[in-house]
Amino acid sequence: MNDMLHFLWKRRRSKLNRMDGFQKLLTLLLSVLAVFMLLPIVYIFNHAFKPYHELFVYPPTFFVREPSFQNVNELLAVTSRSTVPMIRYLFNSVFVSTLAVILVTGISALCAYPLSKHRFPGAGFVFAAILLTLMFAPEVVQIPRYLVVSELGIMNTYFAHLLPLIAMPIGVFLLKQFMDQIPDSLLEAARIDGASEFTVFLRIAVPVCMPAIATVAILAFQNAWGNVETSSLFMFDEEMKTFSFFLSTLTSNLANNVAMQGAAAAAALIMFVPNLVVFVILQGKVIATMAHSGIK
């Protein structure tokens, strides 16, 4: 074990010795920037375990001095008084977020592939229309979304949670731009070998585009996990609403109140941790895919 650690340390030092002064300075600056970007994450974890006398101390402290589960217990006490169990809200959020990631990545890839690798009348107009939707703020389309969901008769169902989320223009844009880098000759060779169009898409285009697909999956999960619009607009029954909406009702109007600030801090941590876990898992997939995949 000691020999292995010595070998790794020697190898790292040899890499540092091969750097010039500018590269060492750049590495130091990037390391400092990485630590600075980690501060909000460290703060969220510390803030969730601060007792009340640390939450309101002046001047405020960054790190927790006396870690306590008081905030978590307060949040559990509040949720225990709810008419609907907290596990039901969690189930709704996990179910909707998982399906949203699958549908968004699948539909975005199926939409991007013909736009990138097939020439059909109106392809440029369709892509321009998709890009145009990026200019609209979410508040602009709330009324059209409500009318569509209402006319389809899917109010108060899981379909109403999913339908507004599966259309993700930024996902189509990212995947289309990534698929443009795939040589047409590679796809044509597969077609000559007898592969169907769906096989070409599934066995060639999708594996090559895994970094972009992982990025789209991260964005889709973050959008679905923190979404409260569908619960507030399309759901009538409390048991159909998501965990993010439930926590928003607990933490709303607390800006100038002392009560329940601990529960709000614990709720913020609960909402943040799944995003962090999904990002770490898929970000690792992105790095591994970019390092080990390629067009041979």
Give the count of beta carbons closer than 10 Å to the beta carbon of residue 259: 9
State the pLDDT at residue 104. Answer: 93
Are 24 and 104 in a shared domain? Answer: no
**Same domain for 167 and 227:** yes
Of the candidates 147, 158, 171, 138, which has an alpha carbon nearest to the alpha carbon of residue 237? 158
Last residue of a domain, one of 72, 87, 117: 72
Q: How many domains does the chain have?
A: 2
pLDDT at residue 288, as a whole number: 55
**Whether 184 contacts 117, CB under 8 Å:** yes
The single-letter DSSP state of residue 295 is -
Domain range enclosing 32: 2-72
Q: How far apart are CA 89 and CA 91, in angstroms?
A: 5
C-alpha distances out from residue 224 to 10, 159, 254, 274, Å: 46, 13, 24, 12
Indicate the residue among 72, 106, 126 that finishes a domain.
72
Say whether both 14 and 154 belong to one domain.
no
Last residue of a domain, one of 72, 88, 120: 72
Enumerate residue ranges in the chain where pLDDT < 70.
1-18, 251-259, 285-296
pLDDT at residue 97, rounded to an integer:
93
Residues 129 and 26 grouped into a single domain: no
Q: What is the pLDDT of residue 258?
A: 60
Are 110 and 148 in the same domain?
yes
Do 10 and 147 sit in the same domain of this protein?
A: no
- Residue 212, domain CATH: 1.10.3720.10
Do 68 and 209 sit in the same domain of this protein? no
Indicate the pTM of the whole model: 0.80
Q: Are 177 and 47 contained in the same domain?
A: no
31 lies in the same domain as 99: no
Q: How far is CA 53 from CA 59, 191, 259, in A?
A: 12, 68, 13
